[in-house]
């Protein structure tokens, strides 16, 4: 697993779909994950420090975890199967560890709120697979072509997402 950070949240101009770009914390590898608009809004609000008047779903989950004395130790984006990414939340409470299956987009939104590290499986960064976690589906590209394209691009090449 490699630690990553949210490098950019934008719109894929070819599909008009939100995409979150994860970049290696200490490297150049990138992992684009196409996500739904609601999840993109949740991530954007936290990145921009916008606090809604009432708790949103990710804020509520944060309150529940903190209220139960649990700590989100990390998020793992672990696999892609049939164009769907998989993630796990690793929560600790006292001497117990809990692992929860989650969508990467929800996991990222929660990790940002709880200041927990995000990790991605090295193979996902190496492959730079363009499959989608949530709806919609990005355009199909040959994996080698996509890898070369991603290595040449800057996260700013994606449009900015505005909730």
DSSP line for 82-118: TTEEEEEEEEEETTEEEEEEE-HHHHHHHHHHHT--E
CATH of the domain at 137: 3.10.690.10
Q: Give the residue numbers spanning the domain of 52.
A: 2-160
Phi-psi label, residue 61: left if phi above 0, alpha if psi -120 to 50, beta otherwise: alpha
Confidence of residue 110 (pLDDT cuts 50, 70, 90): very high
H/E run at residue 23: strand 17-24
pLDDT value at position 128?
56
Closest C-alpha among 105, 115, 112 to residue 135:
105
User: pLDDT at residue 95 above 70?
Assistant: yes
Instruction: Tell me the pLDDT tens digit for each residue of 112-134.
Output: 999 999 999 998 988 753 333 33
Q: Tell me what pLDDT residue 27 has.
A: 83
The total number of structural domains in the chain stands at: 1
For residues 150 and 32, the answer to whether their CB atoms sit within 8 Å is yes
Report pLDDT digits (tens) over 7-56: 988 888 888 889 999 999 988 889 999 999 999 999 999 998 988 889 89
Q: Is 6 helix (H, G, I), strand (E, B) or coil?
A: strand
What's the burial of 24, exposed, middle or buried (CB within 10 Å: 0-12/13-18/19+)? middle
Would you state the pLDDT for residue 132?
33
Give the pLDDT of residue 141: 43
Among 6, 8, 25, residue whose Cα is nearest residue 156: 8
44 versus 154: the higher-pLDDT residue is: 44
């Amino acid at each position: 697993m490699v630690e990553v950070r949210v490098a950019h949240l934008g719109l894929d101009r070819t599909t008009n779909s939100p995409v979150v770009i994860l970049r290696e914390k200490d490297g150049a590898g990138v992992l684009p994950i196409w996500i739904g608009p609601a999840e993109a809004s949740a991530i954007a609000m936290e990145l921009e420090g916008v606090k809604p008047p009432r708790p949103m779903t990710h804020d509520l989950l944060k309150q529940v975890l903190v209220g139960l004395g649990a700590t989100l130790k990390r998020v793992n984006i672990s696999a892609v199967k049939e164009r769907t990414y998989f993630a796990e939340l690793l929560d600790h409470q006292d001497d117990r560890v809990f692992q929860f299956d989650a969508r990467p987009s929800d996991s990222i939104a929660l990790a940002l709120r709880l200041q927990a590290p995000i990790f991605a499986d090295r193979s996902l960064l190496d492959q730079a697979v363009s499959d989608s976690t949530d709806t919609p589906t990005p355009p199909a590209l040959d994996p080698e072509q996509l890898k070369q394209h991603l290595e040449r691009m800057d996260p700013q090449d994606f449009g900015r997402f505005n909730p």
